[in-house]
């Protein structure tokens, strides 16, 4: 969401949506380690159980609110706070070519977070297929740790 110029976002609100069956995104470094994955799953299960319990408690707490929809929104909004940053959400994004190049250069770099780098590289692969004259100068290189980066000799064009 940091990239604003040339970008447009539509995001499913996690504030009011029922997160009873929320999906979670497991970072690769956690998924690849059995012990870490077990800890992650325990935390997710506890968070989901707490969310469900809080929604129930808070709907009762807001029982005097005459609008049923508002009552439900208020309860979900407050209960959402126990779900972590790994809770999946849906975002629809549009961007112009210059904004995409900037994003790929920043987030496809070795210094970027591994997960956003994967997103940047997937966008790059799509753009190289769809607009090779604009994105054909990039190359994807594998790092010693198995992750990939995007590189170009024509930065900030």
User: Would you please indicate which residues are annotated as catalytic (active-site) residues?
Assistant: 107
80 DSSP 8-state letter: G
Residue entry with tokens 């769809």: 130
Q: Which pair of tokens denotes residue 114? A: 């591994």
For the four alpha carbons of 110, 112, 113 and 115, in that order, the dihedral sign comes to negative
Q: What share of the chain is helix, strand, coil (3-state, %, to 5)?
A: 50, 15, 35
């Amino acid at each position: 969401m940091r990239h604003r110029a040339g970008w447009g976002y539509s995001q499913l609100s996690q504030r009011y949506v029922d997160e009873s069956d929320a999906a979670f995104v497991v970072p690769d470094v956690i998924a690849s380690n059995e012990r870490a994955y077990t800890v992650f799953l325990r935390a997710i299960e506890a968070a989901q159980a707490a969310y469900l319990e809080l929604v129930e408690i808070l709907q009762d707490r807001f029982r005097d609110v005459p609008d049923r929809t508002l009552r439900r929104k208020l309860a979900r909004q407050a209960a959402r706070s126990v779900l972590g940053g790994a809770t999946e959400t849906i975002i629809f994004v549009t961007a112009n070519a210059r904004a995409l190049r900037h994003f790929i250069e920043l987030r496809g770099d070795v210094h970027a977070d591994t997960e956003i780098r994967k997103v940047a590289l997937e966008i790059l692969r799509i753009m190289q297929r769809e607009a090779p004259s604009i994105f054909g100068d990039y190359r994807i290189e594998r790092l010693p740790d198995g992750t990939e980066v995007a590189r170009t000799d024509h930065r900030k064009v």
